[in-house]
Amino acid sequence: MRADQNEKQVRREFLRAVSAAAAATLASGAPRTLTAATESELLQPTPTADSCILLWMGGGMAAPDTLDPKHYQPFRRGLPVAEMLSTFPAIDTAVSGVQICRGLERIAAVMDRA
């Protein structure tokens, strides 16, 4: 029973200290320094890239299976996890020696332009 009372006392002291610190911070005006800068104050980096390629594959295959395919292992019931490397076969791309997962044929066709 004594431990519960001590824990409640420590919690109260902590909340009292945090409340005092929050009140002091608000009173000092410090939160105003955290507001967003105006457009004239923002530093804009100088762009150096000619283009940017974004592959949006939400909910799709994992990156190791798409852009770095492993040895193809057809799926079968009861296949031990240790033996499952990739259930998607690899295809050649426009870049010699580079393969990606089947299903990304259009990306593979233009990969030499990246």
pLDDT tens, the chain, 114 aa long: 456 666 767 888 888 999 998 888 888 776 666 666 666 667 778 888 888 888 777 776 666 667 878 888 888 889 888 888 777 888 999 999 999 988 889 999 999 987
The single residue listed with the structure tokens 């009292």 is 16
- Per-residue pLDDT, 32: 65
* Secondary structure (DSSP) of 41-88: GPPPPPP--S-------TTS--HHHHTS---B----TT--GGG-SBSS
Question: Using CB atoms within 10 A of its CB, is residue 61 exposed (0-12), middle (13-18) or buried (19+)?
Answer: middle
Q: Which of 95, 76, 72 is nearest to 85 (CA)?
A: 72
Q: Helices (H) and strands (E) in the chain — how many of each?
A: 3, 2
Q: Which two tokens stand for residue 14?
A: 């902590």
- Per-residue pLDDT, 108: 93
- 3-class secondary structure, 104: coil
pTM tops 0.85, yes or no: no
- Per-residue pLDDT, 92: 93
- Per-residue pLDDT, 110: 93
